[in-house]
Amino acid sequence: MKLPAFMEMYQQLIAAPSISALEESLNMSNQNVIHLLAQWCETLGFIVEVTELEHAKGKYNLIARRGSGDGGLMLAGHTDTVPFDDSRWQFDPFKLSEQDNKLYGLGSIDMKGFFAFVLNAISELDELQQNAPIMILATADEETTMAGAQEIAKHPSLKPARCIIGEPTDMVPVFTHKGHMTTAIRIVGRSGHSSDPERGLNAIEIMHQVIANLLKLREELKNKYSTPHFAIPYPTLNLGHIHGGDNANRICGCCELHIDMRPLPGLSIKELQAMLTAAVAPINTHYPNSVSVIDMHEPIPAFTGSTDSALVKMAERLSGQQAIAVNYCTEAPFLQQLGCETIVMGPGSINQAHQPNEFLAMEKIQPSQDIIKQLIRESCFAYTSCIK
- By annotation, the residues acting in catalysis are 80, 142
CB 67 within 8 A of CB 380: yes
Helix (H) or strand (E) holding 313: helix 310-319
CB 15 within 8 A of CB 108: no
CA–CA distance, 52 with 60 (Å, rounded to integer): 4
Burial class (CB in 10 A: 0-12, 13-18, 19+), 154: exposed
Closest listed residue to residue 75, CA positions, set 35, 37, 131, 124: 37
CA–CA distance, 276 with 16 (Å, rounded to integer): 40
Burial class (CB in 10 A: 0-12, 13-18, 19+), 289: exposed
CA–CA distance, 63 with 72 (Å, rounded to integer): 14
Q: In the 8-state DSSP scheme, what is residue 27? A: -
CA 297-298-300 angle, to 5 degrees, is 115
Tell me phi and psi for residue 348, to 5 degrees.
Answer: 95, 160
Closest listed residue to residue 139, CA positions, set 81, 65, 95: 81
Q: What CA dihedral angle connects 170, 318, 337 and 56, to 10 degrees?
A: 40
Residue 114: strand, helix, or coil: helix
CA–CA distance, 185 with 215 (Å, rounded to integer): 14
Residue 267: strand, helix, or coil: coil
DSSP state letters, 318-374: HHT---EEESS--SHHHHGGGS-EEEE--SS-GGGTT-TT-EEEGGGHHHHHHHHHH
Q: Are strands 324-326 and 174-177 parallel, antiparallel or unpaired?
A: parallel
CB 65 within 8 A of CB 98: no
